């Protein structure tokens, strides 16, 4: 069967000449060509034959008659097909709204509140017709159009057609969705009625193919009957044709009731012929239905240039067309089986993922449901866009939730600790469960560590309850699965799991994977991942920390019942300023913890991340609440001590995720209480910790396990053992064992900010470990590893500068300002600490740990300690960046073609010094180090440092808003000799310039920097030409920023 799907001509008397010239004549020419290739059996027209109830005509009857003559007769005669094969359907413009009394209409709106009231109304035909005079004219026109024919039944609402095409009985129901149209507020008030559908089916029930024509898409229908109508249509019709929205769409919809193919046709009206938006071009859809095989939709659109209809190649999968498989009985059974699995998962996992929220089982006013509290973080993929010839700019491609779910490639989501990776996977799982009809995939969640002990097939079987036999004998199609794998790791001890996963990917190329991975710095892969062959199978994306709008969105969701908080900007300012001043990571967990605290203690202001966590835990247990379990005898300190002991017990056992079986943990608590001579019930204590959300349960092979809910909880209480457990303290301070406890020592020094001996010891050891690398790198010079012959800025003209500095601002001035403040400045899964670290891991962890501890060491008074430590840490971090660059060079040399094909590799390769500086600021940045930074920069020894160190120190100081920042930047610009540094300075200056909060004096200063950086420093170059070029660049950049500000105002 071949059919043409038209819709929404909106003919009016004043546009008839344009209609004939620019719509009908080109359309007939196009249809004749298609008809000669394969006969057209039907023309389906899904509503809005005329415009505004006959606008411009003497009457609505004249308008319908004109449509019959000018459109129906003309098309059918030119093509040589029977007039009855042009099947019409009423739209909201095909009714006479003024025919019904507005008071009567108001009464009907309030009457249709349930399915019963709709059915009772339709049963009373006299009352029904008296209240819907608006459709009388259309009904009369349709009756006269088709006359009395055995195969056509025109009822008051629906019209039914029966035909035999190529030996197949075709049943077509034209259903009226416009009988409730009345004004501009129709959407959501429209009705079709179950009766229309069931009455139609009585006449076409035995047909081989059933088709329905409806003007309005289902989403426009009243919620009262929307689900029922969707189910009735899906269960009984093979093809569904819609109009109304003036754009094109086709899709296949499946649920427990059945599978249907939906087609929405674009409009084709004279006033729309100048539209250039490809989604809204005048056009139509060619439908080729192969009965039990396939259905192909080809999208045709009007070309103003050619005054002809052509294929719209911007739509569809293959050159302007989309093909769907027509479901047979076997495929329907398979689908229903998949949906049963989905329903089983839906019954379990939405509640399970809610338990992963910080708010779950706490006395907060915030929602305890993932969908109500979730804020989508920014997911970006770094790419390098060519501006002109060899000039490029780095840009970020953003991914929405649907982008992630719809993307056919495997995706790796990389984020720092506690960046919300697991909660994001939870949300993706729910997205697939809730929208199975859209994605058609069964989500399966796995923890990467589980792969070590079981085959992936077995893990899929456990999660879905599909028998392993069905998976292995392929009666279950693995292509229906999407794997969500949390916390993939690349260290040597995980090599067998990585190989197992890689083999699974190779053996199942159509199974999509979405995995998460933890990095030490935002926007970078862990060093252990570089060069791993499994990366070739993934599109790598990065989870950004929360920006201002993300934080505000979370605040709005959190304080949904307290408008006085969400409506006042000062509350948001307080959160932003706190995270800015303390350089607390802007992760969902950290922001949630802070909101939880200020909900309880509005004027609370933490000193650092450790003290915020301590405050949260104290308030979680309601430290002074007399209603806390055993509060009079078993105090908060008793609970803290017990949790400290439990953390050490879990650490000592080293089981998966540091979990213990419920029974073993209960027994441990009971023994611990006995040793302390306490007479408390171990079960009550354990359940108390579970109810408070300190612990969480998981079941594996029928055994119930308990572990800390969040890794930060485990690390915090394990840290407490440093003071209470001599054996543990001695262990972590022996050799380099402390490198396995970076987070614990970060919390420890955050609470005890004067640990001079400890910090000195770690900085000294760091210097020893970096000694060999330092000698080798410094002998060649740090800058030699980053130098380049071809810089970006040397190739910039004033026009190119304008392009590369153009930014589209989506946020207003306030959000832009706050985001810049944040720019200057924790998953539920707990990874078992490795028995040993490789040399590269030790080097990385050493500088990171030393940096975090120095940042916490506010109370240390020893003369020059902070200056010396800062010198050592920045040098070590710079040496590590050099080592990172060497790894990238090695990977590039091994397979340059493969390396260069991955845009993100090139971005990191070129901008590593800039990334290094940003990560250092994130790790060590605090305004309380500004004095130490000034001492270092102004010391005569500073000139002996590498230019990369100069850049790092000066822009660390500038990021922290030091008062002398421009003095230092001036000196750097005047004295740097390397080419690569010019690019790095250029990007930092551009970042500062595009802030909306900078004063005018600073703006002019930054403009001059941009001009200086983009003109030649060669003494032989023409000074006058350079001055003209600099002035041109400054004028263009300044004009661009003024335009941006004007856009923001408007």
- pLDDT tens for 301-340 read 999 889 999 999 888 876 789 998 876 656 666 777 787 8
- pLDDT tens for 85-114 read 999 999 999 999 888 888 777 777 788 888
User: Is a pLDDT exceeding 70 seen at residue 289?
Assistant: yes
Last residue of a domain, one of 515, 545, 575: 545
CB 70 within 8 A of CB 11: yes
State mean pLDDT over 484-505. 92
pLDDT confidence of 907, banded at 50, 70, 90? low
What was the pLDDT predicted at 627?
A: 43
Residues 322 and 342 both lie in one domain: no
User: Is a pLDDT exceeding 70 seen at residue 57?
Assistant: yes
User: Could you tell me which of 592, 575, 499, 494 has the C-alpha nearest to residue 537?
Assistant: 499
When mean pLDDT is compared across 237-246, 358-367, 550-559, 992-1001, the lowest value belongs to 992-1001
**106: domain CATH number?**
3.60.21.10
Residues 562 and 518 both lie in one domain: no
Helix (H, G, I), strand (E, B) or coil at 700: strand
User: Is a pLDDT exceeding 80 seen at residue 234?
Assistant: yes
Last residue of a domain, one of 545, 579, 611: 545
Measured between alpha carbons, how far is 363 from 770 in angstroms, rounded to an integer?
49
Residues 246 and 340 both lie in one domain: no
Helix (H, G, I), strand (E, B) or coil at 781: coil
What was the pLDDT predicted at 1042?
A: 45
Residues 179 and 256 both lie in one domain: yes
What was the pLDDT predicted at 610?
A: 86
Say if 348 falls within a structural domain.
Answer: yes
Question: How many residues in the chain?
Answer: 1050
Q: Which residues contact 492 (CB under 8 A, 6 or more apart)?
A: 838
What was the pLDDT predicted at 828?
A: 46
Say if 684 falls within a structural domain.
Answer: yes
Q: What angle do CA 901, 904, 907 make, to 5 degrees?
A: 110
- pLDDT tens for 728-754 read 999 998 889 999 999 999 999 999 999
State mean pLDDT over 201-212. 93
Say if 365 falls within a structural domain.
Answer: no
Measured between alpha carbons, how far is 262 from 370 in angstroms, rounded to an integer?
32
CB 909 within 8 A of CB 902: no
- pLDDT tens for 985-1017 read 988 888 888 765 677 788 888 888 887 787 654
Residues 518 and 659 both lie in one domain: no
Say if 831 falls within a structural domain.
Answer: no
User: What pairing do the DSSP bridges indicate for beta strands 86-89 and 152-154?
Assistant: unpaired
What was the pLDDT predicted at 579?
A: 65
User: Could you tell me which of 749, 649, 637 has the C-alpha nearest to residue 706?
Assistant: 649
* Mean pLDDT, rounded, of the chain: 84
> What torsion do the CA atoms of 654, 659, 662, 668 make, to the nearest 10 degrees?
40
What was the pLDDT predicted at 385?
A: 47
Residues 298 and 351 both lie in one domain: no
Full domain range(s) for residue 16 = 2-327
Residues 300 and 351 both lie in one domain: no
pLDDT confidence of 562, banded at 50, 70, 90? low
476 compared with 485, residue with greater pLDDT? 485
What was the pLDDT predicted at 690?
A: 86
CB 492 within 8 A of CB 447: no
State mean pLDDT over 460-473. 85
pLDDT confidence of 872, banded at 50, 70, 90? very high
What was the pLDDT predicted at 559?
A: 79
When mean pLDDT is compared across 97-101, 340-344, 456-460, 627-631, the lowest value belongs to 627-631
Measured between alpha carbons, how far is 972 from 958 in angstroms, rounded to an integer?
12
Say if 280 falls within a structural domain.
Answer: yes
What was the pLDDT predicted at 583?
A: 54
What is the number of structural domains in the chain?
4
Residues 180 and 257 both lie in one domain: yes
- pLDDT tens for 923-960 read 898 888 999 999 999 999 999 999 999 999 999 999 88
Measured between alpha carbons, how far is 760 from 812 in angstroms, rounded to an integer?
46
What was the pLDDT predicted at 1032?
A: 55
Residues 525 and 570 both lie in one domain: no
Residues 536 and 596 both lie in one domain: no
**454: domain CATH number?**
3.40.50.300
Residues 227 and 290 both lie in one domain: yes
CA dist list (Å): 313 to 5, 32, 276, 307 = 18, 21, 14, 17
Residues 259 and 351 both lie in one domain: no
């Amino acid at each position: 069967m071949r059919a043409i799907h038209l819709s929404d001509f909106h003919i009016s008397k004043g546009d008839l000449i344009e209609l004939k010239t620019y719509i009908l004549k080109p359309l007939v020419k196009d249809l004749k060509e298609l008809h000669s290739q394969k006969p057209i059996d039907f023309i389906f027209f899904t509503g809005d034959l005329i415009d505004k109830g006959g606008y411009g005509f003497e009457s609505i009857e004249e308008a319908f008659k004109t449509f019959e003559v000018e459109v129906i007769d003309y098309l059918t005669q030119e093509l040589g097909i029977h007039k009855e094969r042009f099947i019409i359907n009423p739209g909201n413009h095909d009714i006479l709204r003024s025919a019904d009394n507005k008071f009567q209409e108001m009464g009907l709106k309030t009457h249709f509140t349930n399915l019963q009231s709709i059915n009772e109304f339709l049963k009373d035909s006299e009352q029904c017709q008296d209240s819907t005079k608006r459709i009388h004219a259309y009904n009369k026109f349709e009756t006269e159009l088709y006359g009395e024919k055995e195969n056509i039944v025109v009822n008051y609402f629906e019209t039914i057609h029966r035909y035999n095409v190529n030996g197949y009985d075709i049943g077509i129901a034209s259903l009226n969705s416009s009988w409730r149209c009345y004004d501009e507020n129709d959407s959501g008030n429209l009705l079709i009625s179950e009766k229309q559908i069931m009455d139609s089916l009585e006449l076409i029930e035995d047909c081989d193919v059933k088709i329905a024509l409806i003007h309005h898409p289902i989403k426009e229908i009243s919620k009262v009957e929307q689900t029922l109508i969707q189910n009735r249509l899906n269960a009984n019709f093979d093809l569904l044709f819609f109009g109304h929205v003036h754009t094109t769409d086709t899709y296949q919809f499946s649920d427990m009731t059945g599978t249907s193919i939906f087609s929405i046709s674009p409009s084709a009206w004279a006033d729309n012929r100048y539209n250039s938006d490809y989604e809204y071009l005048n056009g139509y859809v060619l439908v080729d239905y192969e009965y039990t095989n396939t259905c192909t939709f080809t999208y045709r659109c009007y070309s103003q240039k050619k005054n002809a209809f052509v294929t719209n190649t911007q739509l569809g999968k293959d050159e302007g067309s989309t093909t769907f498989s027509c479901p047979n009985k076997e495929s329907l059974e398979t689908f229903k089986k998949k949906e049963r699995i989905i329903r089983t998962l839906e019954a379990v996992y939405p509640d399970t993922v809610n338990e992963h929220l910080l708010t779950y089982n706490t006395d907060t006013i915030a929602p305890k449901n993932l969908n109500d509290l979730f804020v989508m973080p920014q997911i970006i993929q770094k790419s390098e866009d060519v501006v002109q010839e060899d000039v490029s700019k780095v840009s970020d491609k953003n991914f929405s939730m649907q982008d992630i779910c719809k993307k056919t490639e495997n995706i790796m989501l990389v984020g720092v600790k506690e960046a919300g990776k697991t909660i994001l996977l939870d949300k993706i799982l729910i997205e697939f469960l809730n929208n199975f009809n859209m994605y058609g995939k069964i989500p399966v969640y796995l923890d990467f560590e589980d792969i070590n002990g079981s085959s992936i097939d077995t893990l899929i079987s456990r999660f879905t309850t599909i028998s392993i036999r069905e998976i292995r004998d392929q009666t279950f199609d693995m292509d229906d699965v999407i794997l969500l794998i949390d916390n993939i790791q690349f260290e040597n001890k995980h090599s067998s799991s990585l190989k197992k996963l890689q083999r699974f990917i190779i053996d199942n190329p159509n199974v999509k994977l979405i995995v998460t991975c933890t990095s030490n710095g935002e926007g970078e892969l862990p060093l252990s991942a570089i060069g791993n062959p499994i990366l070739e199978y993934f599109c790598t994306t990065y989870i950004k920390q929360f920006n201002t709008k993300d934080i505000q969105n979370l605040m709005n969701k959190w304080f949904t019942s307290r408008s006085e908080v969400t409506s006042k900007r000062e509350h948001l300012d307080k959160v932003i300023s706190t995270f800015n001043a303390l350089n607390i990571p802007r992760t969902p967990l950290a922001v949630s913890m802070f909101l939880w605290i200020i909900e309880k203690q509005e004027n609370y202001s933490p000193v650092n991340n450790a003290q915020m966590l301590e405050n949260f835990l104290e308030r979680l247990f309601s430290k002074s609440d007399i209603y806390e379990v055993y509060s009079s005898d078993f105090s908060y300190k008793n609970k803290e001590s017990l949790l400290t002991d439990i953390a050490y017990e879990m650490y000592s056992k080293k089981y998966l995720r540091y979990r213990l079986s419920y029974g073993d943990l209960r027994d441990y608590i009971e023994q611990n209480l006995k040793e302390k001579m306490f007479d408390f019930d171990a079960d009550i204590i354990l359940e108390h910790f579970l109810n408070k959300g300190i612990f969480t349960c998981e079941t594996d092979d029928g055994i119930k396990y308990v572990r800390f809910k969040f890794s930060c909880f485990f690390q915090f209480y394990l840290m407490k053992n440093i003071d209470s457990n001599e054996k543990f303290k001695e262990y972590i301070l022996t050799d380099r064992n402390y490198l396995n406890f970076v987070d614990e020592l970060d919390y420890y020094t955050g609470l005890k900010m004067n640990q001079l001996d400890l910090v000195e010891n770690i900085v000294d050891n760091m210097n020893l470990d970096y000694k060999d690398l330092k000698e080798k790198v410094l002998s060649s010079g740090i800058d030699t590893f980053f130098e380049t012959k071809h810089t970006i800025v040397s190739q910039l003209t004033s026009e190119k500068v304008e392009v590369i500095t153009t930014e589209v601002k989506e946020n207003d001035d306030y959000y832009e300002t706050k985001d810049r403040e944040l720019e200057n400045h924790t998953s539920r899964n707990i990874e078992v600490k490795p028995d040993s670290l490789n040399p590269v891991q030790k080097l990385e962890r050493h500088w990171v740990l030393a940096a975090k501890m120095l940042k916490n060491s506010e109370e240390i008074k020893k003369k020059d300690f902070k200056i010396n430590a800062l010198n050592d840490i920045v040098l070590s971090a710079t040496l590590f960046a050099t080592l990172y660059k060497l790894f990238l060079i090695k990977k590039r040399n091994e397979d340059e073609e493969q390396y260069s094909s991955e845009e993100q590799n090139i971005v990191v390769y070129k901008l590593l010094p800039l990334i290094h500086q940003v990560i250092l600021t994130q790790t060590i940045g605090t305004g309380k180090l500004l004095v130490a930074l000034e001492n270092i920069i102004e010391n005569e020894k500073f000139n002996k440092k590498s230019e990369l160190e100069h850049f790092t120190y000066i822009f660390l100081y500038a990021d922290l808003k030091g008062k002398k920042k421009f003095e230092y930047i001036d000196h750097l610009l005047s004295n740097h000799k390397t080419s690569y540094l010019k690019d790095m300075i250029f990007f930092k200056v551009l970042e500062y310039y595009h802030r909306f909060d900078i004063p005018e004096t600073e703006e002019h200063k930054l403009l001059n920097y941009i001009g200086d950086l983009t003109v030649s420093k060669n003494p032989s170059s023409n000074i006058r030409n350079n001055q003209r070029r600099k002035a041109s660049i400054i004028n263009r950049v300044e004009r661009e920023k003024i335009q941006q500000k004007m856009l923001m105002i408007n």
